[in-house]
Structure 1
Amino acid sequence: MTTMEQSPEVVTGLDGGVATVEIRRGPNNYFNPTVIRTIADEFERLDADPACRAIVLCSAGKHFCAGADFTGEMAEPGAAGRVYEEAVRLFAIGTPVVAAVQGRAIGGGVGLALAADFRVAAQSSKFTLNFSRLGFHQGFGLSVTLPALVGESQAARLLYSGGSVSGEEAAAIGLCEVVVDDADVRSAAVEFAGRFVGSAPLAVRSIKETLRGDLVRRIREVLPRELSEQTRLRETADFLEGVRAGRQRRAPEFTGR
C-alpha cells in the first residue's frame, strides 16, 4: 500500500485500486476549512489518477466526525462559508466514494458522510442531526442530500426532532448501506469499495454522473440559504440557550426568541 501524507490531519493511501482518505483529528475528528479543503484536494487528485477506482473516506479515533470545530480557524469571520465552498468539491468527483462511519457522526459530520456515494456503519454508530436541539439550521448541503436518501418525511422527522439514529435504523431508512461489527467498519468499507475496481472506470463515472443528475447544482444553490439561516439563528436567544444547555449537559428550554 502506498501512503501519502498530505498533512498531519489528512493521510491518503492507495492499494489495489482503492484509496483511503483518513482524517486524523481524533478522537472526535472535528473539521475546519483547512480539513475540508485538504480532503477535497485529495479527492480531486485521486479522481484524476487512473490507478484509483474507488475512495474510502474514513477517520482515525473514536468517532467518524463530530461536526465543526468552532474554535481556532472556525471562529474566524467567514469560516463557515469557506467550509461550504470547499464542500461542494466533494460532491463533484466521478470516482465512487464510500464513507466508513464508526462511533458518531454529528451535525456537519453527517453532512460529510453524505458527501460519499455509500456509507458503511458500525452497529454502535450514531447519526445525530442535532441542529434543532441547538436552535440552529442544518448545513453542508443536508437540505438536499438527506431527503434525497431517506425521503422528505424522514428527513423532516430527523431534522425537526434533532435526535439520533443507530446504525441499524440508518440502514433501515436508507442512510447507510451496510452495518457491521464495530471492529470491521474500515475493512468492510474497503471491501465494499473494492466491488467497483473491476468495472470500466469511464462507464462508472458516466453512470454516477447520470444518477446524481443536478445534485451538485442543487447543493451549490442551497448552501447560501443554509448559511444565511445559520447566521440569522446564531443571533437568537434560543441558539444561546441551545449551546449553553449542551455545555451543561441538560435539556434546553427554548422560548422562540
Structure 2
Amino acid sequence: MTDTASPDLNVRRDGAVAVLEIDRPPANYFDRALIAAIADALGELESDGRTRAAVLCSSGKHFCAGANFATTADGGDRAIESRRLYDEALRLFHVQIPVVAAVQGAAVGGGLGLACAADFRVATPDSVFQANFARLGFHQGFGLSATLPRIVGPQRALDLLSTARRVRGEEAAAIGLADRIVPTGTERAAALTWAAEIAACAPLAVRSIRETLRSGLADAVGQALEREVAEQARLWETEDSREGIAASLERREPRFVGR
C-alpha cells in the first residue's frame, strides 16, 4: 500500500509496525470518510503478510476531538450520517492486528471512542480524556457503551459518562483508561516501541491471544451502536441537545432545561 492512504491519513511502515497518522490538525475532527480510511488501511495491513502491529496517532495538538458539530448536518440528516459513520467504526473492531494509540492532547467524545477502539493507549500527564456527551445533551456513541465499561469497569464508566468530566493522564492511568504514561512529546515514540515489542513476538500466537481476550467485543459494540445511534437521533431533537451543542460551539456553560 502507498504511504498515504487518504488526504487526511498518512500511513507508513517501520519494519513490522505500521504507523497511521491522522492529519487534520489541530483538533483532528473525524468524519465518515476518515474513519473509513482508517478501517481500510488496517484491513490492508492485516492481510499484507508483513505488518504485525500498528500505531494510531495524530498530527497537531490533539489526538482527536470527535465529530465537528460546526459542520455536521442537523436533525434527521445527522442521524443518517451518524449511522453510516458507525457502520465504518464497527469495522475497526474486526481488525486482527494489535493497535496502540498514541494520545497527545485531548481524546474527546468520538475521539475517546476512537482511542478506546485500539488495544492500548499511551498518554502523557497532559493528555485529556473526556466523554463529553452529557454536556452536549445527547447519548454517547462510537461504541463507548461497550468499550468504556470493559476498560475502566461499569461504575467508573457510568461516572465518566454521567458527569462528562475531564480525566487527565495520571488519573487515566490509575483507572486503566491509559495503559502507559510517558513524558509529554514522547507518546508516539513510546507507542512505536510498544508496538515493536508486540511485533517481535510470534504473530500467530499474538493474534490468537488477542482473539481470546477480545472475544465478543465486536458483537457487543455492534449491539451498543444500534442503541447509541437510536438514542442520539432521539436526543438530537431536544432543546437540551441544541443548547449543549450551541454552548460548546460558543465556548460557554450550557443552560439545560430538561426538554
What TM-score comes out, normalization by structure 2 length? 0.95
Match of 1:218 in 2: 220
Q: 3-state DSSP class of the match of 1:127? A: strand
What is the CA distance between 1:71 and its match in structure 2? 5.0
Q: Distance in 1 between matches of 2:8 and 2:252?
A: 32
How far has the Cα of 1:139 moved from its partner? 0.2
Q: Give the drift of 1:244.
A: 2.2
**Alignment match of 1:98 (pick from 89, 97, 100):** 100
Counterpart in the other structure of 2:23: 24
Inter-partner Cα distance in structure 2 for 1:234 and 1:223:
16
Q: Read off the aligned partner of 1:68 and give its amino acid letter.
A: A
Matched, 1:129 2:128: no
Provide the residue aligned with 1:58 in structure 2: 57
What SS does the corresponding residue of 1:55 show, helix, strand or coil? strand
Structure 1 range deviating more: 113-122 or 2-11: 2-11
Q: How far apart are residue 75 of structure 1 and its match? A: 2.3
Cα distance in 2, alignment partners of residues 131 and 82 from structure 1: 19
Structure 1 contact 3–11 (Cα < 8 Å) conserved? no
Residue 189 of structure 1 corresponds to 191
Question: How many angstroms does 1:250 deviate by?
Answer: 2.3
List per-residue Cα deviations over 1:144-185 (Å, max 9, x = no partner): 000000001000000000111001110000001111111101
The equivalent residue for 1:6 is 5
**Structure 1 position 249, deviation (Å):** 2.3
**SS state at 2:60 partner:** coil
Instruction: Give the structure-1-normalised TM-score.
Output: 0.96
Q: Give me the whole-angstrom Cα distance separating, in 2, the residues matched to 1:181 and 1:198.
A: 24
Report the count of equivalent residues. 255
- 1:49: Cα distance to partner? 1.7
Query: d(CA) in 2 for partners of 1:152 and 1:6?
Result: 36
Asked if 1 retains the 8 angstrom alpha-carbon contact of 2:27 and 2:63, the reply is yes
Residue 3 of structure 1: CA displacement?
6.3
- Cα distance between partner residues in 2 of 1:250 and 1:87: 30
Tell me, what secondary structure is at the counterpart of 1:183? coil
RMSD between aligned residues:
1.3
Checking the alignment, whether the CA contact within 8 Å between 1:118 and 1:177 is kept in structure 2 is yes
Which aligned pairs between 1:163-242 and structure 2 lie closer than 5 A?
163-242=165-244
Note the alpha carbon deviations across 1:101-136, whole angstroms, 9 max, x for none.
000011000000001000001210000111101111
Distance 1:190 1:137 in 2: 34
- Percent identical residues: 53
1:89 to 2:94 alignment: no
**Distance (whole Å) between structure 1 residues aligned to residue 102 and residue 212 of structure 2:** 24
Local SS of the residue matching 1:256? coil
Q: Indicate the SS of the match to 2:185.
A: helix
Sort the Cα spacing of 1:211 and 1:128 in 2 relative to 1 into closer, same or farther, 3 A. same
Summarize the Cα distance change of 1:151–1:166 in structure 2 as closer, same or farther, 3 Å threshold: same
Shift in Å, 1:79: 1.3
Amino acid across the alignment from 2:38: I
Shift of 1:247: 2.7
Alpha-carbon contact 2:69-2:245 (below 8 Å) kept: no
Distance 1:71 1:253, change over 3 A: closer
Deviation digits for residues 180-208 of structure 1, max 9, x if unmatched? 11110110110111111121111111111
SS in 1 for 2:100: strand
Question: 1-side partners of 2:84 and 2:162: how far apart?
Answer: 26
Letter in 1 for 2:14: D
Counterpart of 1:75 in structure 2 is: 73
- Amino acid aligned to 1:182: T
2:9, 2:22 within 8 Å by CA — same for their partners in 1?
A: yes
Letter in structure 2 aligned against 1:59: S
Deviation of the 1:243 alpha carbon: 1.6
Structure 2 spans left out of the alignment, 5+ residues: none
Counterpart CA distance in 2 for 1:180 and 1:87 is 28
Q: Tell whether 2:154 aligns with 1:152.
A: yes
The alignment status of 1:117 with 2:115, answered yes or no, reads: no
Conserved? CA contact 1:27–1:63, under 8 Å: yes
Identify the residue that residue 34 of structure 1 maps to in structure 2: 33
Report if aligned partners of 2:86, 2:225 keep a CA contact under 8 Å in 1: yes
